[in-house]
Amino acid sequence: MADVNRGNRPLSPHLQVYRPQLNSITSILNRITGNAMLVSAVLIVWWLIAAATGAAYFDTVNGLITSVLGDIVMSLSVLGLWYHALGGVRHLIWDTGRGLEVDTADKMGWGMIIGSVALTFLTLIAI
Q: What are phi and psi of 3, to 5 degrees?
A: -80, 115
Q: Using alpha carbons only, what angle is made at residue 92 by residues 87 and 94, rounded to the nearest 5 degrees?
A: 95
Dist. CA 77–CA 120, nearest whole Å:
9
Q: Is 84 annotated as a binding residue?
A: yes
Residue 69 CA: distances (Å) to CA of 64, 65, 83: 8, 8, 21
Q: How many CA atoms lie within 13 A of 19 on its CB side?
A: 0
- Residues annotated in a binding site for heme: 84
- Residues annotated in a binding site: 84
